[in-house]
Amino acid sequence: MRGEVGFPVRIRFSELGKVRFISHRDAARAFDRAFRIEALPIALTEGFSPRPQVSFGLALSVGHESVAEYMDVRFAEVIDLDDLPGRVSAALPEGIEVTGAVHLVDRAPALQESVTAVEWEIEVAPADGAPVAGPTLTDRIDAVLSAAELPVTRTRKGREDTVDVRPAIRHLGLLRSGEVGTVLHAEVATQPGVRPAELVAVLGEGVRDVRVLRIAQWIERGEERFEPLDADALRAVEARAS
C-alpha cells in the first residue's frame, strides 16, 4: 500500500456480541464481502495475482470483543468518507460496525508496526463461582505491579517457551463492578506483548476472565501518542505541520 496511486483510508470498527466467536480471518472475509456488496472501488496490487490492497491491524483473539479495531484500505478513486461507515456497516454481519474513517497520508506506516500500546477492560470472576480464596484482587494486582518479573509459558508450534511479561504491563487496576465479577483496566505495550489471558494468569489461581474488551490502541511517537485514526490522517498531519 506504499507509494501507489489511489485513495488510502484508515477504518476503525467494533466487534461486539456473538461475532466475537469468529476468527480474524472470518472478519477479514466479512469486510471483503461488504466491500463487494457496496461495489466499492478497492485498488488491487500489481502482478500475476492481483489482490485487494487491504491490511488489518493487530489481530483480535477469538472470544474477545473490541471497540477499537483498525484496518487500512486503498481505493482506486476518491470516495465519500462521510457515507462510508454507514454503507459498509450495513453490509457487515451483526456485531461488526464501522465507527470511523479518515483519508490517510500516502506511505503511512503499517498499523501492525505502528501500534505501541493497547488498553483492555477485563472482567474477572472466581473460577468456580465461589469467592476468590487467598489475597484479594487488590492485593493480587499490587503483587503483579511490584514483581520484578512475571514468567509465563507459551506454546507455539508444539514448543514451550518461558517469557517475562512484566515489562509489557504499564497499568493494571480495578475499574468497576461488572455483571458477574470485577472489571479490571489494563494498558500493555505491544513490544514485548502480553495477552489478556496471561494478565489473568499472573493474578493467581482461582480467577477466570468472563469478558475481554479492547477499548483503545495507541501509536506513540516521541512524547506524543495518537489514536490510530489521528496518527496519520491527512488532515491531522497537515494541521500539526501548520
What confidence tens digit (pLDDT) does each residue in 38-78 have?
999 999 988 788 889 999 999 999 999 999 999 999 999 99
| Angstrom distances, CA of residue 149 to CA of 75, 115, 136, 142, 215 | 46, 24, 20, 13, 26
Cell 518479573 belongs to which residue?
149
pLDDT of residue 1: 41
In this structure, are residues 197 and 184 in contact, taking their beta carbons and an 8 Å threshold? Answer: no
Taking 90 as the threshold, does the pLDDT of residue 241 lie above it?
no
Cell 512475571 belongs to which residue?
150
Query: What is the torsional sign of CA 228, 234, 240, 241?
Result: positive
Task: Give the Cα separation of 23 and 126 in Å (integer).
Answer: 27
Q: Which helix (H) or strand (E) holds 161?
A: strand 159-164
In this structure, are residues 72 and 54 in contact, taking their beta carbons and an 8 Å threshold? Answer: yes
pLDDT of residue 203: 95
* 22-26 mean pLDDT: 95
- pLDDT category, 158, cuts 50, 70, 90? confident
CB atoms within 10 A of CB 31: 21
Q: What is the pTM of this model?
A: 0.93
Q: Which helix (H) or strand (E) holds 198?
A: helix 196-202
Cell 501548520 belongs to which residue?
242
Question: pLDDT tens for residues 100-148?
Answer: 999 999 989 999 999 999 999 999 999 886 766 668 899 999 999 999 9
CB atoms within 10 A of CB 61: 15
Question: pLDDT tens for residues 166-219?
Answer: 999 999 999 999 998 999 999 999 998 999 999 999 999 899 999 999 999 999
Q: Which residues is 160 bridged to in the sheet?
A: 155
pLDDT of residue 234: 93
Domains present along the chain, CATH in parentheses: 7-108 (3.30.70.580), 115-220 (3.30.70.3190)
Does residue 192 have a cis peptide bond before it, meaning omega lies within 30 degrees of 0?
A: yes
* 78-86 mean pLDDT: 96
Taking 60 as the threshold, does the pLDDT of residue 3 lie above it?
no
Cell 472475509 belongs to which residue?
29
- pLDDT category, 2, cuts 50, 70, 90? very low
pLDDT of residue 49: 83
pLDDT of residue 211: 97
